[in-house]
Amino acid sequence: MSKQRFDELRKQLDEVNLEILAVLNSRAQLVQEIGLLKTGKGTERFDPIREKEMLDLVVQANTGPFSDDTIRHLFKQIFQASLGLQEEEKKSLLISRKNKSQDTVVQVGPLAVGGGTPIIISGPCSVETEAQMEAVASHLQGEGIALLRGGAYKPRTSPYDFQGLGKEGLRILSETAKRHQMVCVSEIVTPEDVEMACEYLDVIQIGARNMQNFELLKAAGSVRKPILLKRGLAATIEELLYAAEYIASRGNDQIILCERGIRTYEKATRNTLDISAVPILKQESHLPVVVDISHSTGRKDIMFPIAKAALAVGADGLIIETHNEPAVALSDAKQQLDLDQFSTLLNQLRQSGFLPTTVQA
């Protein structure tokens, strides 16, 4: 073969490559358009029957020199790449970092949750009496804590355990908080109660057992109150993010995520604190993340190291259950710190530099 013919063939080959490239990309555009039509219709992106039809069609038309098997293999690769293209076309979640690079700061009264300074949420597991709430709140206020918690609707494992004071509990919590210039948070368990709760609460909590109560999530998305969304007992990080998206998709983007431990085979702690969830949640979403060091561990003797770990991995705050008389608490008696223990923990965190000495908490 002459050198001239050789060069000519190579040139032609380059041109054919470019033609293939152009055809591949125009095919990709068609695939993207089809992907957009499928969006929101619940249509599966991968349709094996359609893929088989397309493969049969090209193989039937194949006249060689490539074998049918080779053609099948090549086109499967093209189909696979196109599928990836449709995936990229998927809309990213409202709560996703991809949609918003800055951190969301949830303002709760004087507190900026996610604003760079860690916050502390504290108070008893359950609101029990006016006197109990008064004792706890006055101590917490003295420590500079601004966000008071207390359960009024308690989702208990046993129906025979204390179920909470209901609306009366919300009233006691709210009035106590106001008397001490604090803001308050409590769990709501039914969608019907969400609007009513807004009158009493500064933050509505959705508890672990209700993380996938979708009607509750929708109701929480329809009000203009910050929501504290706790991770389910056996929920993946992705499921927690989708639960938050339910709230955001209804127009409420004031969401605080909470890692509170997940169920594993380990019995040394009540739940297993998934510490890696904190940086992952903060990477995947722009929402603030707090860690509940009481429900995740279920024990008081490791509060300090666990609190340090949570803050070290970037938590925007901590939830710490406190009670004036934990031994006689109507729920979670074992894990609640008494008021002195709480002050000791706070001092340890401040002295070790994990919390600023002049906290906004």
Q: Is the dihedral of CA 128, 129, 132, 134 positive or negative?
A: positive
125 binds ligand PEP (CB under 6 A): yes
Separation in Å, CA 349 to CA 301, 345, 353? 15, 6, 6
227 has which bridge partners?
Answer: 204, 255
Determine if 106 is a binding residue for Mn ion (CB under 5 A): no
**SS3 state at 272:** strand
208 interacts with, out of Mn ion, ligand PEP, none, CB within 5 to 8 A per kind: ligand PEP
Tell whether residue 295 is a contact of ligand PEP (CB under 6 A): yes
Neighbouring CB atoms inside 10 A of 171's CB total 16
- Nearest partner of 306 among 343, 269, 358, 332, judged by Cα: 269
Q: Which does 317 bind (CB under 5 to 8 A by kind): Mn ion, ligand PEP, none?
A: none
Q: Segment contacting Mn ion (CB under 5 A): 84-92, 118-126, 339-347, 349-357? A: 118-126
Neighbours of 266 (CB within 10 A): 10
Reduce the DSSP state of residue 126 to 3 states and report it.
strand
Q: How far apart are CA 40 and CA 42, in angstroms?
A: 6
Tell me how far, at minimum, the Cβ of 238 lies from Mn ion, in Å. 26
Q: Is 127 in the site for Mn ion (CB under 5 A)?
A: no
Angle, CA 84 vertex, CA 79 and CA 85 arms, to 5° = 95
**Nearest residue to ligand PEP, by Cβ distance, number only:** 207
Residue 193 contact, options Mn ion, ligand PEP, none, Cβ 5-8 Å cut-off depending on partner type: none
Can you tell me whether residue 344 is helix, strand or coil?
helix
**Binding of ligand PEP by 208 (CB under 6 A):** yes
Residues 6+ apart with CB under 8 A from 31: 82, 85, 86
Asked if 187 interacts with ligand PEP (CB under 6 A), we say yes
For residue 207, the SS3 value is coil
Choose from ligand PEP, Mn ion, none: what does 187 bind? Cβ within 5-8 Å by kind. ligand PEP
Which of residues 108, 120, 121, 125 is near Mn ion by CB under 5 A?
Answer: 125
- Our finding on whether 148 is near ligand PEP (CB under 6 A) is no
With beta carbons less than 8 A apart as the criterion, state whether 184 and 158 touch. Answer: no
In the list Mn ion, ligand PEP, none, the entry touching 323 (Cβ below 5 to 8 angstroms by class) is: none
Toward ligand PEP, which CB reaches closer, 97 or 225? 225
User: What would the x/- binding string for ligand PEP be over residues 244 to 283, using CB under 6 A?
Assistant: ----------------x-----------------------
* Contact with ligand PEP (CB under 6 A) among 35, 114, 123, 151: 151
SS3 content of the chain, % helix, strand, coil (to 5): 45, 15, 40
Residue range at the interface with ligand PEP (CB under 6 A); choices 44-52, 81-89, 112-120, 207-215: 207-215
Of 169 and 221, CB closest to ligand PEP: 169
Q: Which parts of this chain interact with ligand PEP (CB under 6 A)?
A: 125, 151, 187, 207-209, 230, 260, 292, 295
Q: Which parts of this chain interact with Mn ion (CB under 5 A)?
A: 125, 332
